[in-house]
Amino acid sequence: MPKMKTNSGAKKRFSFTGTGKIKRKHAYKSHILTKKATKRKRALTKAALVNKTDLSKTRLLLAVGK
C-alpha cells in the first residue's frame, strides 16, 4: 500500500504542539480591520487548537496516524 501524501494547503496552515495537539490560526485577521476592535484583533493573533470534532479530518489531511 502506498503512503498517503500530506495535503500541501494543510501543511502550511497547521502545526503541532509538543504534546501532539494541532495548532491553527484564527480567521478574520486579513482585511477590513478598521471596523474591528483592537481587542478583537489582538485576540485573533493568538494561536488556537483544532476542535476535537475536526481533529480526525485534519489528521487525515496531514497524513498522520492516530
pLDDT by 10s per residue, the chain, length 66: 888 899 999 999 999 999 999 999 999 999 999 999 999 999 999 999 999 999 999 999 998 865
pTM above 0.85, yes or no: no
Cα–Cα dist 26/48, whole Å = 7
Cα–Cα dist 28/17, whole Å = 23
pLDDT of residue 3: 86
Alpha carbon 32 to chain centroid distance? 21
